[in-house]
């Protein structure tokens, strides 16, 4: 008998062979379980594969056989029109386009003159109360104060605290102020960031590194509500963390706690909640989420980027009882959305929204300074010396820190209490007025500053309502799944409430007449399930994703391209119809009108 055969028949070989087999099977079995859990169960996983596989295979075979991909054809047909809408000045041949440095520098007066020309391109409706969010305070005095502070510290760079002690101190004080707003414990810590997206990025990074260090987790995941801001999705892509999105309650629009708990497993590092969420202005049940986080020994991040400076002052503004009831808070201290809730380990809150600071500042807050350290990046082996940074940025604009500090100091607690009161009262006036319009329903319980509404009349297509309001100068948010409209109330909004309600009532009436006319022609009323192109079929989603990239590309268009032509509306629609069908082309064309 050969030595190879002896080895093959040996007990040791069989044990090793079987061990390898079972280890491989175990690995792929665990991966399969994780995959199914991430998609919400076996049924949901099968449905996901059923919906996405045909498109993926179809696009693959189009490339294999050298045929034009219909999706790419549709996107190409619409790309030029998107660019023209996003960057209209780039197509204006009468304007001077600076695509290279001037051969000789311009004088200061000439530069100011050019700046004024650029400024004239901006919308003139920013301060008329018809814009959802965008600019959160129209107060001239605060704006001028912030500008003066920025001017004073224009060259400050907090990367060098020994040179710029002023902005170092102001930054620390701003973070301390916001920590106090959220009832932070003595050992809490925070960081000033460039905006809400960076704050959320840093939260995910901190939990990933904490879980790796403390729990040894190398395949981390987070569990979040479907309504959580997509910056968290971006963070998981950046930091290789799996994201598991769970459904919301169809009535309250708060996160489904049962679904969230079912999605938690041994690799879950944190769960997330919103205070409030962007789409509907609804707050997730923070105390219940805190209890869930404690049960599993994981982090809980609260995204208060949007409404933190409103909600944190609602108790003192006279809305405490309703807020506590909505959040499910029964504690003796606090209001139920800050660090007084056991289990809350981090909070993000923008200072440049309802804090009214210049754009470019936000905060990420941690229950402990120890947890904050996991956000840091440190490099000790660089020939240039020791490198350490708090977040994504190295050098940072100290001028914006000074502007933020100045605005917070000017407003003070009493100023934010008053603004919270005015904003909440305005939002409630809007919600009450919308609920009186036949066929319109306000979604969930908009507790603070955001109101969303949808159509409950099959004859009223909410996208038509939004289209009409857009023509009347309103800049609203379009929601999907289901389709709806939303409005982020600001201090500027109060002056336009009556106009919003009157225009919405007229738009609903006009949409209803369109629906009746369609029925009279024997057509089905338009579906109210998808107002945003891309919320429907898988093909739509694929086209929408590519169109979003075209939109981003267009923002950087500086000047007309030689030979660049823009097709007519009819030509574009015909090309898209051949590629993705008439219905898809019509929906995409309507979506382009809202850009």
Say which residue, 382 or 580, is predicted with more confidence. 382
* Residue 245 is assigned to a structural domain of this protein: yes
Contact 257, 292 (CB under 8 A): yes
Counting every residue written for the chain, the total comes to: 595
Cβ-based neighbours of 427, under 8 Å, separated by 6 or more: 281, 446, 448, 449, 450, 451, 489
Mean pLDDT, residues 365-391: 95
Tokens for 480, please give them. Answer: 């999907």
Closest CA to 347 of 328, 358, 357, 334: 334
How many angstroms separate the CA atoms of 442 and 447, rounded? Answer: 12
In this structure, of 134-138, 213-217, 223-227, 538-542, the range with the lowest mean pLDDT score is: 538-542
Domain count, the chain: 3
Co-location of 56 and 77 in the same domain:
no
User: What Cα–Cα distance (Å) separates residue 499 from each residue in 221, 455, 503?
Assistant: 46, 19, 6
Asked if residue 33 has pLDDT above 80, the reply is no
Co-location of 33 and 160 in the same domain:
no
Q: What does the CA dihedral 31, 34, 38, 44 come to, rounded to 10 degrees?
A: 80
Closest CA to 250 of 482, 528, 454: 482
Query: In the chain, pLDDT over 90 holds for what percent of residues?
Result: 63
Instruction: Write phi, then psi, for 224 (nearest 5 degrees).
Output: -135, 155
Cα(first)–Cα(last) distance of the chain, in Å? 79
Predicted local distance difference test score (pLDDT) of residue 121: 85
Which strands, in side-by-side order, build the sheet including 477-479?
A: 440-442, 450-455, 484-488, 477-479
Predicted local distance difference test score (pLDDT) of residue 530: 41
Say which residue, 255 or 44, is predicted with more confidence. 255
Asked if residue 456 has pLDDT above 70, the reply is yes
* Residue 317: domain span: 148-410
- pLDDT, tens digit, for every residue of 142-153? 889 999 999 999
Co-location of 26 and 86 in the same domain:
no
* Residue 124 is assigned to a structural domain of this protein: no
Residue 22 neighbours by CB distance under 10 Å: 11
Global confidence as pTM: 0.85
* Residue 52 is assigned to a structural domain of this protein: yes
Asked if residue 477 has pLDDT above 70, the reply is yes
Co-location of 27 and 76 in the same domain:
no
Domain boundary among 359, 379, 410: 410
Q: What angle do CA 439, 445, 446 make, to 5 degrees?
A: 95
Co-location of 338 and 211 in the same domain:
yes
Instruction: Write phi, then psi, for 346 (nearest 5 degrees).
Output: -160, 155
Asked if residue 412 has pLDDT above 90, the reply is yes
* Residue 590 is assigned to a structural domain of this protein: yes
Say which residue, 85 or 223, is predicted with more confidence. 223
Q: What angle do CA 515, 520, 525 make, to 5 degrees?
A: 35
Q: To the nearest whole number, what is the mean pLDDT of the chain?
A: 86
The enclosing H or E element of 450 equals strand 450-455
* Residue 431 is assigned to a structural domain of this protein: no
3-state secondary structure 10-30: CHHHHHHHHHHHHHHHHHHHH
How many angstroms separate the CA atoms of 518 and 511, rounded? Answer: 11
* Residue 138 is assigned to a structural domain of this protein: no
Q: What angle do CA 74, 75, 77 make, to 5 degrees?
A: 65
Bridge partners of 192? 363
Co-location of 286 and 262 in the same domain:
yes
* Residue 437 is assigned to a structural domain of this protein: no
Q: At what angle do helices 11-38 and 42-64 cross, to 10 degrees?
A: 90
Contact 493, 129 (CB under 8 A): yes
* Residue 452's pLDDT band (cuts 50, 70, 90): very high
Co-location of 278 and 295 in the same domain:
yes
Mean pLDDT, residues 324-329: 96
Q: If phi over 0 gives left and psi between -120 and 50 gives alpha, with beta otherwise, what is residue 333? A: beta
Co-location of 23 and 84 in the same domain:
no
Domain boundary among 390, 410, 430: 410
Co-location of 168 and 81 in the same domain:
no
How many angstroms separate the CA atoms of 326 and 446, rounded? Answer: 10
What CATH code is carried by the domain that includes residue 219?
3.40.640.10
Contact 136, 491 (CB under 8 A): yes
Co-location of 37 and 182 in the same domain:
no
What DSSP line would sit under 64-85, residue for residue? Answer: HTTPPPHHHHHHHHHHHHHHHH
Co-location of 278 and 366 in the same domain:
yes
Predicted local distance difference test score (pLDDT) of residue 581: 66
Query: In the chain, pLDDT over 70 holds for what percent of residues?
Result: 81
Say which residue, 576 or 256, is predicted with more confidence. 256
* Residue 520 is assigned to a structural domain of this protein: no
Bridge partners of 350? 362
- pLDDT, tens digit, for every residue of 105-121? 999 999 999 999 989 88
Co-location of 84 and 61 in the same domain:
no
**At 245, is the secondary structure helix, strand, or coil?**
strand
What DSSP line would sit under 92-157, residue for residue? Answer: -TTS----S--SSPPPHHHHHHHHHHHHTTS-S-TTTT-BSSS-----HHHHHHHHHHHHHTTT--
Predicted local distance difference test score (pLDDT) of residue 297: 98
Asked if residue 188 has pLDDT above 90, the reply is yes
Contact 579, 540 (CB under 8 A): no
- pLDDT, tens digit, for every residue of 158-185? 999 999 999 999 999 999 999 999 999 9
Domain boundary among 393, 410, 427: 410
In this structure, of 253-267, 295-309, 494-508, 538-552, the range with the lowest mean pLDDT score is: 538-552
What DSSP line would sit under 253-319, residue for residue? Answer: -SB-HHHHHHH--TTEEEEEEESS-TTT-PPP-HHHHHHHHHHHT-EEEEE-TTTHHHHTTTIIIII
């Amino acid at each position: 008998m050969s030595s190879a055969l002896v080895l093959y028949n040996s007990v040791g070989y069989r044990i090793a062979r079987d061990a390898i087999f079972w280890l491989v099977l175990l690995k792929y079995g665990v991966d399969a379980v994780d995959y199914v859990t991430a998609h919400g169960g076996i049924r949901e996983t099968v449905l996901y594969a059923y919906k996405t596989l045909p498109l993926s295979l179809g696009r693959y075979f189009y490339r294999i056989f050298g045929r034009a991909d219909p999706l790419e054809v549709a996107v190409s047909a619409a790309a030029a029109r998107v660019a023209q809408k996003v960057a209209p000045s780039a197509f204006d041949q009468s304007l001077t386009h600076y695509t290279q440095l001037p051969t000789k520098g311009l004088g200061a007066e000439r530069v100011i003159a050019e700046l004024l020309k650029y400024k004239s391109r901006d919308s003139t409706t920013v301060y008329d109360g018809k814009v959802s969010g965008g600019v959160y305070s129209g107060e001239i005095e605060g704006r001028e104060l912030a500008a003066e502070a920025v001017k004073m510290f224009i060259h400050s760079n907090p990367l060098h605290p020994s040179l710029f002690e002023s902005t170092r101190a102001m930054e620390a004080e701003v973070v301390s102020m916001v920590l106090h707003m959220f009832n932070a414990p003595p050992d809490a810590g925070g960081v000033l960031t460039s905006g809400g997206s960076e704050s959320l990025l840093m939260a995910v990074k901190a939990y990933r590194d904490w879980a790796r260090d403390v729990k040894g987790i190398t395949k981390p995941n987070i569990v979040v509500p479907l309504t959580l801001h997509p910056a968290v999705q971006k963070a998981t892509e950046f930091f290789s963390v799996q994201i598991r999105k769970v459904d919301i309650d169809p009535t309250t629009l708060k996160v489904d706690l049962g679904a969230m708990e079912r999605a938690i497993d041994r690799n879950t590092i944190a769960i997330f909640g919103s205070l409030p969420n962007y789409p509907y202005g609804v707050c997730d049940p923070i105390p219940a989420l805190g209890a869930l986080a404690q049960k599993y020994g994981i982090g809980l991040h609260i995204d208060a980027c949007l409404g933190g400076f409103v909600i944190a002052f609602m108790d003192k503004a006279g809305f405490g009882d309703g807020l506590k009831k909505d959040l499910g808070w029964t504690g003796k201290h606090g209001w139920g959305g800050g660090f007084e809730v056991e289990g809350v380990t981090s909070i993000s809150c923008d200072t440049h929204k309802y804090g009214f600071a210049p754009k470019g500042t936000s905060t990420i807050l941690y229950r402990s300074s120890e947890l904050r350290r996991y956000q840091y990046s440190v490099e000790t082996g660089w020939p240039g010396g020791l490198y350490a940074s708090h977040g994504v940025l190295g050098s940072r604009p100290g001028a914006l820190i000074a502007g933020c500090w100045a605005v917070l100091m000017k407003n003070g607690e009493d100023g934010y209490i008053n603004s919270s009161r005015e904003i909440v009262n305005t939002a409630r006036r809007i919600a009450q007025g919308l609920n009186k319009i036949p066929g319109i329903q306000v979604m969930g319980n908009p507790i603070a500053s955001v109101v969303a509404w949808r159509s409950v009349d099959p004859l009223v297509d909410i996208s038509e309502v939004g289209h009409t309001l857009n023509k009347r100068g309103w800049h609203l948010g379009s929601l999907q799944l289901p389709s709806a409209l939303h409005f982020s109330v600001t201090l500027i909004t109060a002056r336009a409430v009556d106009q919003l309600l009157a225009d919405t009532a007229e738009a609903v009436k006009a949409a209803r007449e369109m629906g009746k006319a369609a029925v009279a022609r024997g057509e089905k009323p338009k579906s109210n399930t998808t107002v945003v192109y891309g919320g429907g079929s898988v093909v739509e989603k694929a086209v929408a994703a590519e169109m979003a990239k075209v939109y981003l590309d267009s923002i950087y268009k500086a000047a007309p391209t030689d030979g660049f032509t823009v097709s007519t509306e009819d030509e574009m629609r015909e090309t898209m119809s051949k590629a993705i069908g008439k219905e898809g082309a019509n929906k995409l064309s309507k979506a382009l009108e809202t850009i």
